[in-house]
Chains A and B, each alone.
Chain A
Amino acid sequence: MAEQTDQLRTTFDNLQKRAYIVGGAALALTVVGIAVSSTSQVLQSYLFAFLFFFGLSAGSMFLLTLQHITSGVWGLIIRRFVEAAALVIPWMGILFIPILLGITVLYEWTDPVRIAEEHAISAKVHFLNIPFFIIRAVLYFVAWGLLARRLRSLSIQQENAPMSETETFRDKLANVGGPGLVAHVMLWTFAATDWGMSLEPLWFSSMYPVGWMIGQVLTVFALMIIVLWLLSKNNLLGYEIPVDRLHDLGKFTFAFTVLWTYLNYSQYLIIWSGNIPEETPWFYERTNYGWQYLAIALIFGHFFLPFFLLLSRHTKRNFKVVARISMWLVFIEVVYVFWLINPAFHKGAFQIHWTHVSAFIGIGGLWVAMVIRYLKQLPILPPHDHRIPELEAQLAGHGHGNHAPVNH
């Protein structure tokens, strides 16, 4: 159960190789876009793709710290995956460099003319200025990196320690996980403000980082279901997921779908009711000029569809069905991030460019390859986790009927 099989290693190796090649090629193609299209277009596409995949790592960090402080077996099943995705954050710091190089193209508040003519921008100049923006970005990546590394080094120590010490490690990991979750939320709040909210420097909303963060966590839950399904389907997981644990992941996905809607709807309602000039343009831009179709798609695709599909106990316990719903959820989150970011650059007309796709595949490929790099290092089910006996009891005590049917 603990060791990675040769078959899994080969699959990981192949997948990683392909991801590097596809990702690298797509990024190269994106760079070509500078010549064919424009630098600003390429940077805009790159920022969107970066923020989506960064969000997957951020959502993973949220769940990694959360599952260390709660004690459910659901956390054991996803632990290694979210750990690997969180470890990618420092590498995302390297992928952030093009955004720093293009900062004057992307961010309106860097423009001296705009600073001079707009009081609300000049008033923010102590916070929104290029050196401080760079310092902050470095701090975020360093802090996140240290947190991910600390949790990883405890994981490695746990692997090498006997099972008898499992409770010591549980407490150690929880002691890092609790403050780590607090740190993560704060880091993301500032990062979301810097990287996303400040694209429209006149606008502000304290809900913005929160709504987006919950979307990230939801997407990571969906991604976990997909990954576990793919591995189970191809007999690569090494154990069968008990159907109750699959049900847990489904319930979380359902709950976070509702939570995402609640937060984003509340933000809309408050800004719509207040109807004040600093705030309404952000939504006005995103609900007119063709962008409203994405907004409507989000209402139905990010809420109604998954809500009604996941409401049923039956769908949550059917691996194949819940994996399909999860794929949709990941897709619709891409639409959400696109809708958050791109209208900032294209006020007055809906716009999508082929570099959005190529940058997405490019960063996505590298992200997947990096995650696999970390996944290969340790068994995908941590053998000395304190929840292992509980999982084993569930696997043994249940007979065959209680494993989640995979439906090849």
Chain B
Amino acid sequence: MQSSKQLKPPVTETYDSLLAPGQSLNSVTTKISDLILFPVLKTPVGWIVGFVAAGLLLMLYLYSLAALFTYGIGIWGINIPVAWGFDIINFVWWIGIGHAGTLISAILLLFRQDWRTSINRAAEAMTIFAVACAGIYPLIHTGRPWLDYWFLPYPSTLGMWPQFRSPLEWDVFAISTYATVSVLFWFVGLVPDLATLRDRSTSPIAKKLYGLFALGWRGAAKHWQRYEVASLLLAGLSTPLVLSVHSIISFDFAVAQLPGWHVTVFPPYFVAGAVYCGFAMVIVLMIPIRKWFGLEGLITMKHFDVMSKVMLASGMIVTYGYFGEIFYAWYSSSIYEYYLIVNRFTGPYAWSYWALILFNVLIPQALWSKKLRQNLPVLFFVSIAINIGMWFERWVIIVMSLHRDFLPSSWAAYTPTFYDWSTFIGSFGLFFVLFLLFIRFIPMIAIFEVRDLVHKTTAHPAKHEESNHTGA
């Protein structure tokens, strides 16, 4: 990393393969571990600048939380009827981002998709950090976060017992399970690479630390066999979680009677939206990382092409969801459902609905074109647009449905305050601090999985073809 400037060869893009030509077992290990294994004092300036910037945002976040705990949720813009505002929008947005990591690591493992290998590690890390950012919102949203343990069912002398019919209670279990399984899956996948770092690092402290977390991995056949079983089981466990977590979040809205929330197609549409936004975030993170660290040989244009296709497919499902909301609201002939659509199209927040359509429906249509899919600046722009669009989607669903419900006498407007914004922007600080620490100290690409891919493509090209059959 420190010497990447003088060493960087001219970039030749690979379009039809998951590895650029000329990769060997040794070059892969050297390339990835050299990005980490150098003295702390030689950390590049770029990383330090990024870390300081992210750290400042984190400070803003901590300041906002301190203010919240001191003064209460009155410092936010929420009111009655708009009792859910930025907190829940950001919660749903962040947790949606996490979904791509789980999809890449679990579902694509089960489907034996080789294109996951170079991107799964970073995507899983993104998942865990995004879930951390997400999980904080519902906890602070309660207003008295020191009482959040009341969510848990335990025999309490207070006679407190959670309402198990409420999807908000299901969230407690869904998200904590999701976070636990994601961390376990990520860590299990890290063990062989941590052992590689232990063996390659020259600093005694690094050797000790990596060795500690490598759990005595020696690369014995028995270790590998257990590793394969464990990762397959964890993939099996994670797969339903990809669907269940966001489905339960959609139930938070859909089991209510409010027009705009009570929509039966919400569960798959939320899951698709999560995958959509999550893949967009993976691309937003991967394009600069790949360039800065010279990873063009390991993350090829083929990866971006496949990810764009997943994004396009999930984007079309999301678009179908928007269509379903409008069509069935009209078809229902219920005046409340119908008014919801009128309000979205022409109400005081109509601009945000049209922004959603622009960012989430119109701009991503560019992905139909293979040429545009393989143009990284365009892809970066489209992915940013999707991230913004998916934030607007949650804004539209939450704020626009709540602010005008059944009774016109209870209608109200919602305006986010400084603290709403600072709690949102600050959460990027938490995310990027964690992510920068990750790329500094942990191999951001799974070394042994890419080595396995090198082995398969060079030693047994025919066999590799065969294992790559299930299709994208």
Interface residues of A (CB under 8 A from B): 67, 70-75, 119-120, 123-124, 127, 178, 182, 185-186, 189, 193, 204-208, 210, 244-245, 248, 251, 262-263, 266-267, 269-271, 273-276, 278, 390, 393-394, 397
B323 CB contacts on chain A under 8 angstroms: 186, 189
Q: Decide yes or no whether B43 CB sits under 8 A from chain A.
A: no
List residues of chain A with CB within 8 A of the CB of B471: 67, 70-72, 74-75
Residue in chain B with minimal CB distance to A125: B333
Closest to A398 in B: B466
State whether the Cβ of B66 lies closer than 8 Å to any Cβ in chain A: no
- Beta-carbon contact of B265 and A210 below 8 Å: yes
**Interface on chain A toward B: helix, strand, loop, or mixed SS?**
helix
CB within 8 Å of A: which residues of B?
Answer: 111, 165, 243, 247, 251, 254-257, 262-268, 316, 320, 323-325, 327-328, 331-334, 368, 462-463, 465-466, 469-472
Cα distance A67–B470 when bound, in Å? 10
- In the assembled complex, the Cα of A127 lies from the Cα of B328 at a distance in Å of 12
Assembly CA distance A70 to B462 (angstroms): 20
CA distance A210 to B251 in the complex (A): 17
Q: Which 6 A-B pairs have the closest CB atoms?
A: A72-B471, A70-B471, A123-B333, A273-B255, A207-B264, A206-B324
Question: Are A393 and B462 interface neighbours, CB within 8 A?
Answer: yes
Whether B262 contacts A274 by the Cβ 8 Å rule is yes
Are B462 and A397 interface neighbours, CB within 8 A? Answer: yes
| Cα(A205)–Cα(B165), bound, Å | 22
Does B466 lie within 8 Å of A390, measured CB to CB?
Answer: yes
Report A-chain residues with C-beta under 8 Å of the C-beta of B368: 178
Question: With A123-B333, A278-B332 given, is the CB distance from A266 to B462 under 8 Å?
Answer: no
Secondary structure at the B interface, as helix, strand, loop or mixed, is helix
Contacts A70-B472, A124-B331, A274-B254 known; list 11 others, CB within 8 Å. A71-B472, A72-B469, A72-B470, A119-B333, A127-B331, A205-B264, A206-B264, A263-B267, A271-B264, A273-B254, A393-B465
B462 touches A270 (CB 8 A): no
Cβ–Cβ < 8 Å partners of A248 in chain B:
469-470
**Across the interface, do B264 and A266 meet the contact criterion of CB distance under 8 Å?**
yes
A-B residue pairs in contact (CB < 8 Å), sample of 12: A178-B368, A189-B320, A206-B324, A206-B325, A262-B267, A262-B268, A263-B267, A269-B255, A274-B256, A274-B257, A394-B469, A397-B462
Q: How far is the CA of A251 from the CA of B113 in the complex (A)?
A: 14
A245-B469 in contact (CB<8A): yes
Is the Cβ of B334 less than 8 Å from the Cβ of A278? yes
Which residues of chain B are near A127, meaning CB under 8 Å? 331
* Complex Cα gap A80–B375 (Å): 36
* A167–B189 alpha-carbon span in the complex (Å): 37
| A204-B332 CB under 8 A given contacts A245-B469, A266-B247 | yes
Give the residues in chain B near A270, CB-CB below 8 Å: 251, 254-255, 262-264, 266-267
Contact of B466 among A71, A120, A278, A394 (CB under 8 A): A394
Q: Which residue of A lies closest to B110 (CB)?
A: A251
User: Shortest distance in angstroms between B140's beta carbon and chain A's nearest beta carbon?
Assistant: 26
Contact status A276-B257, CB under 8 Å: yes
From B470, which residue of chain A is reached at the shortest CB distance?
Answer: A72
A271 to B327, alpha carbons, bound, how many Å? 18
CA distance A10 to B424 in the complex (A): 70
CB distance from B262 to the nearest CB of A (A): 5
Task: Give every chain B residue within 8 A of A275 (Cβ-Cβ).
Answer: 257
Beyond A178-B368, A207-B265, whether A244 also contacts B255 by CB under 8 A is no
Residue of B nearest to A75 (CB): B471
Instruction: Specify which chain B residues have a CB less than 8 angstroms from the CB of A269 in the assembled complex.
Output: 251, 255
A193/B462 in contact, CB under 8 A: no
CB-CB under 8 A from A204, the residues of chain B are 328, 331-332
Output the nearest chain B residue to A175 by Cβ-Cβ distance.
B368
* Chain B residues positioned under 8 Å from A274 (CB to CB): 254-257, 262
Least CB distance, A296 to chain B, in whole angstroms:
21
Instruction: Give complex CA distance A58, B235 in Å.
Output: 32
Residues from chain B with a CB closer than 8 A to the CB of A271 are 264
Bound Cα distance A210, B317 (Å): 11
B328 adjacent to A206 (CB under 8 Å):
yes
Q: How far is the CA of A71 from the CA of B111 in the complex (A)?
A: 13
Output the residue of B262, B331, B469, B472 with the most chain A CB within 10 A: B469
Residues of chain B within 8 A of A273, CB atoms compared: 165, 251, 254-255
Q: How far is the CA of A392 from the CA of B81 in the complex (A)?
A: 64
Name the residue on A nearest B166 (C-beta).
Answer: A273
Instruction: Indicate the member of B255, B471, B472 with the most A CB atoms within 10 Å.
Output: B471
Please pick, from A74, A193, A276, A397, the residue contacting B469 in the complex, using a CB distance under 8 A: A74
Which single residue of chain B is at the shortest CB-CB distance from A263?
Answer: B268
B466 and A393 within 8 A (CB): yes
Are the CB atoms of A397 and B466 closer together than 8 Å? yes
**Bound-state Cα–Cα, A120 to B472, Å:** 44
Give the most central of B111, B324, B332: most A CB within 10 Å: B332
Query: In the complex the two chains form, what is the Cα distance from A271 to B463 in whole Å?
Result: 49
Looking at the assembled complex, report how far the CB atom of B11 sits from the nearest CB atom of chain A, in whole angstroms. 26
